[in-house]
Amino acid sequence: MRIALLALHFAEYASRLALALSAQHEVLLVLRSGNAQDELTDDLRARLHRNVTVRSIELRRMRDPRVLGTSLSINRILRSFSPEILHIQETHPVLGGWTFLAFRRHIPVVLTVHDPVQHSGGLSKHGWQWKIVTWFRRKASRVIVHGPRMRAELEELDARIAGRIDAIPHGILGRAGIDDDISGCEPGTFLFFGRIEAYKGLRYLLDAGDVLHGRGHVFRLVVAGTGSDLERHRKRIASTAWIELIDRYISAAEVPALFRRATAAVLPYTDATQSGVSAMAFAHSRPVIASRVGDVPDVVVDGQTGLIVPPRDGEALADAMEKLLVDRGLRDRLATNAARFAMEKLSWPRIADVTHGAYRRAFDSH
């Protein structure tokens, strides 16, 4: 099968999917150059160019009228490849909509929706832009989401999509394979990683740290990344000795060392659908402490691959972190299970296989 993947965002996710699909199929991958530069390691980029036809484009701002020229360039790249199926990572309709419209009448178009509804503070469900997003989802041959709760949420948002949604897990990120070495972490080190927005719940993690400190525990919280929510907590962080702040974008090459340091990754999200951070943690044999939101508990299985706590509850989060501080056996057990889960459920060959099944269903419905 000749498969074209268009990923103007989520470059690493799409690249690893493209590599896995290339074992059985001819694959074209179209990436946004800036996103690829940020997310792809030199090793991953080299593997891509050996096995996949890769094209990169410069992406203009949506309000720049020249963005139409970018869309036309994408369409020319795709037509020269003559794909049998087009798989798009959902983006703003202005960026990918022209390509969607140009190809949907001729070949099946599969759409991966990473978030049925944008996180808090995102796109309103009542505006004209939301209506356009919904229309494009409705016109896709198949829609892929990353878990059963996301599928149910999408069906609730638009019943006309029901029956055409495939729930496929989010594959591992950050490594080509699984690092099954559970040793080497810095004892009592918890990692909060990624873009720091309000829904990521940094406030509640800081509350949990205060609780642990009050209980007399010795630990370190590594906050690695930057984002709009960081500013409101900067003074609190600066006055706290047990926090190490890495206030910048973390390159792909730096990610493995950060996760190897950690006893566990902490995801105190207030709302979310799934998380690539948990996929990174599992790839490095690190358990995850996460809030019970979206499809996160289907991956971070409470007591097996990590610990689940209620959202917006600093006390409960502190209790979970404390368990890993005082029980090394539990930490090692969760770490081993996390690596096994990644190898069995989140491996890219498996993801590629079930994604190919979605492609076949797209052909049947086109």
pLDDT digits (tens, 9 = 90+) for 178-226: 555 666 788 899 999 999 999 999 999 999 999 999 999 999 999 999 9
In 225-333, where do the E strands start and end? 243-246, 264-267, 288-291, 306-309
Do 219 and 361 fall into the same domain?
A: no
What six digits make up the tokens of 341?
A: 């889960």
Rounded distance between C-alpha atoms, residue 10 and residue 325, angstroms: 34
Q: How many Cβ atoms are within 10 Å of 122's Cβ, its own excluded?
A: 11
The DSSP letter of residue 275 is -
Q: What is the pLDDT of residues 10-57, one digit of tens each?
A: 999 999 999 999 999 999 999 999 999 989 999 999 999 999 999 998
List, for residues 254-264, the tens digit of each pLDDT value.
999 999 999 99
Q: How many structural domains are present in the chain? A: 2
Residues 238 and 130 in one domain: no
Longest dimension (CA), the chain: 65
Q: Is residue 333 part of a domain?
A: yes
The model's pLDDT over 326-352, given as tens digits with 9 standing for 90+, comes to 999 999 999 999 999 999 999 999 999
Torsion angle defined by CA atoms of residues 318, 322, 324 and 330, in that order, rounded to the nearest 10 degrees = -110
Predicted confidence at residue 70, as pLDDT, reads 81
Whether residue 193 contacts residue 258, with contact meaning beta carbons closer than 8 Å, is answered with: yes
Are residue 143 and residue 61 in the same domain, yes or no? yes
177 belongs to a structural domain: no
Q: What is the mean pLDDT of residues 55-64?
A: 74
Which domain covers residue 71, as residue numbers? 2-171+347-365
**Residue 209 belongs to a domain with what CATH number?**
3.40.50.2000
- How confident is the model at residue 289, as a pLDDT? 98
155 in the same domain as 222: no
Residue 183 resides in a domain: no
Reported as type and span, the H/E element at residue 3 is strand 2-7
Same domain (yes/no): 333, 352: no
Q: Is pLDDT larger for residue 67 or for residue 272?
A: 272
**Whether residue 359 sits in one domain with residue 303:** no
Model confidence pLDDT, tens digit, residues 251-306 = 888 999 999 999 999 999 998 777 889 989 999 999 999 999 988 999 999 999 99
